[in-house]
Structure formats: C-alpha cells, structure tokens
Amino acid sequence: MTDKLPPNLLQLFQPRPPLRYLPPSDFAPEKRTNCHVDGLAGFISVLKDEPAPYHPTESWLERKDREKLEKREAAVKLVTEDVKDCM
C-alpha cells in the first residue's frame, strides 16, 4: 500500500538511524552499596523511656483567624498612631 505513495511521502515512512549507545550513568546493581535498613525494634526502648513532646501546629483556620486579627490590629495602629504623629 505504501509503495504507491509519491517519493516525498515515502521519505516520511523511512526508519530513523539507530540511537547512539550511552553507558549507564548509575552503578551496576551488584556493585552498589546501600544503607542497611532496620525496623523499629531498635527504637522501642528509647520510646518507652521518654514520651516525645507534642508541639501542635497551626491549622489553616487558626492561621486565617490570626492573619485577620493581625490585619485588624495593624489598621487600628495605623489610624491611632499616625493621627498622633500628624497633630
């Protein structure tokens, strides 16, 4: 079917040249040295001795309320202190 196409369209269906070989940039799997990964059993004694301190983070609702309050305080400060400076 494609042999009936004109030469300019046949060029589009020609195979491309093969890709150039590049050696792998990583080490071979048998030559790799990875860290040894242990389970949690080694840390159980440490965890039993002293509980980890709890530091709660700010939720997005609390952050939104805090930013709103800071804006309100900045506006009040701007009105009160800047008026005193002008007089």
d(CA 28, CA 26): 7
Question: Cβ(28)–Cβ(17) under 8 Å?
Answer: no
73: Cα separation from own chain's centroid: 34
For 19-34, how does the pLDDT look when each residue is reduced to its tens digit (9 = 90+)? 999 988 888 888 888 8
pLDDT of 80 reads 85
Which H or E element spans position 63?
A: helix 60-86
Token pair of 80 as six digits: 């009160």
Residues 35-85: pLDDT tens digits?
Answer: 888 888 888 887 787 777 889 999 999 999 999 999 999 999 888 886 776
> Which class for 57: exposed (0-12), middle (13-18), buried (19 or more C-beta within 10 A)?
exposed
The pTM of the full predicted model, rounded to 2 decimals, is 0.38
pLDDT of residue 4: 86
